Amino acid sequence: MNDFMKEAVKGVQGLQPYQPGKPIEELERELGVSNTLKLASNENPMGPSNNVKKALEKVSSLLGLYPDGGGFALKEKLADELSNDSITITSSQITLGNGSNDILDMVARAFLCEGREAIYSEYAFAVYPISVQAVGATAKVSKALPVTHSSNPYGHDLSSIFDNITDKTSVIFIANPNNPTGTWLTANELENFIKKAPNDIVIVVDEAYFEYVVEADYPDTVQWVSKYPNLIVTRTFSKIYALAGLRVGFAVCSDQIADLLNRVRQPFNVNTPALLAATVALDDKAHLQNCVAINQRGLVFWQEACEQRGWAYIPSVGNFITVDFAQEAKPIYEALLRQAVIVRPIANYGLPNHLRITISTEEQNQQCLDALDKVLA
């Protein structure tokens, strides 16, 4: 028998597969529980809007045909949505992905290889190291801001990221807000960093949770792409638009970088239902506003619950909150599974005492909290 581990390229040999949140069906099959509450994957509890659901009912007649490989209608719609009096975005600046995760992988394949380096922060999204290592590049992980004596504990330390830049640096990944910490950077902080960094380094600002953020000094970095040709902004329809099951995301950047990304983009990487659903979802402004309002109330609920119980938590602006239980969190996670509640342990991020909990509806937030109280009692 061949040892195919030896045949794999070096970067892949050292990888571990990405571990998603535990599926409901898997838990119910394993433990025999029912009516499971899943708050592990930062999914929108409201689901897609009614307009999206109605549109998808009509798509079955198209399933025997390949999707529009260029995503013309969705790219045109996105360009119109993202343009304003200050900036004009064209469809040639947009690259579509099978989720924004797909875009991150395109960036790695377009700009990284053996001998080149990528920088990202400690506690940053788990896909960055996977994409970097798979192409044989070197990852440099900058230290996050300290837990104590910091206005942004666990957040990206842009000074540390800058200090890690070398002549081999090709890509910098910055999640804003970051998953799994929920921490974020202000407009001044982020733009000053982009100005200071060498302009031949591709800077990826990952904004998967962009639509959830309500802070006044949080940046809309799409507005900067004409000023900074090395900037790539990635967003997704998986979170607030609730299309996680369809997998569609996008990047906005300069025409030249978009052209390079499209050279490594897989043909027909976004399917027909996803293209249609995303295009319709962009018009559902009322649904979006309702989801933001529900999330804001949920964040307040969890912050108050943590403070009342003496649980430390990381201040978040996303649709999740990460709680420090000051003890190994895996047994708490496993006990919650027996209560038919799935949250996310994040020891793989270097946070073994923390659980990440998706913000949900009032009823589901309370259900999760009751289960936690029962387990910790």
Separation CA 189–CA 83 (nearest Å): 24
User: What is each CA distance from 105 to 128, 195, 224, 357, in whole angstroms?
Assistant: 8, 25, 22, 26
Q: How confident is the model at residue 240 (pLDDT cuts 50, 70, 90)?
A: very high
Separation CA 181–CA 172 (nearest Å): 18
Predicted confidence (pLDDT) per residue in 71-117, tens digit: 999 999 999 999 999 999 999 999 999 999 999 999 999 999 999 99
Please check the confidence at residue 1 and state whether its pLDDT lies above 70. Answer: no
pLDDT at 322: 98
Predicted confidence (pLDDT) per residue in 14-34, tens digit: 777 777 788 899 999 999 999
Parallel, antiparallel or unpaired: strands 312-314 and 249-252: unpaired
pLDDT at 222: 98
Separation CA 30–CA 324 (nearest Å): 27
pLDDT (average), residues 330-343: 97
Query: What is the number of other CB atoms lying within 10 angstroms of the CB of residue 338?
Result: 12
Predicted confidence (pLDDT) per residue in 24-74, tens digit: 999 999 999 999 999 999 999 999 999 999 999 989 899 999 999 999 999
User: What is each CA distance from 149 to 52, 290, 335, in whole angstroms?
Assistant: 46, 35, 33
The pLDDT mean for the chain works out to 95
Q: How confident is the model at residue 4 (pLDDT cuts 50, 70, 90)?
A: confident
DSSP secondary structure letter of residue 88: -
The domains of the chain, with CATH numbers, are 19-48+286-376 (3.90.1150.10), 61-281 (3.40.640.10)
